[in-house]
Amino acid sequence: MPYVARDDQGRITDVQENETERAYEQVAFDDPELVSYLTNGLKPAEIRAELEATDREIIRVIEDVIAVLIDKRVFMLTDLPTPAQEKLARRYNLRTKLSDLGSIISEHEDIMLP
């Protein structure tokens, strides 16, 4: 069971695996106050929703990291498993098409995309 430290109002301020000078009170893993402290008051469904909301952003970050590693020759695309190569190649191809389309549209402002 974890050990918690509390402030003057009795609120949990720290959680430790082992007893320390400040964190000497043991609480159950499913203690509602501990769960609330560890999740910043968010419910599991809210945490999952926040994770899902950042999935698209992190996917783009991962793509950019892979591109940088390939550009710096840290590894080659062919070092990845074939299914990963195919997925990345498809995304790069789609991004290229989108970039090409963007330049066409900027030249012809009367074209509107849905």
Summarize pLDDT for 88-110 with one digit per residue, the tens: 999 888 888 887 766 655 555 55
Residue 112: predicted pLDDT: 45
Break the chain into its structural domains and give their ranges: 3-38, 53-107
Q: Is the pTM of this model over 0.75?
A: no
H helices within the chain, ranges in order?
32-38, 44-71, 82-107
Q: Is the pLDDT of residue 19 over 90?
A: yes
Residue 111: predicted pLDDT: 46
**Rounded average pLDDT over 59-76:** 92
Q: Is the pLDDT of residue 113 over 60?
A: no
**Rounded average pLDDT over 51-72:** 91
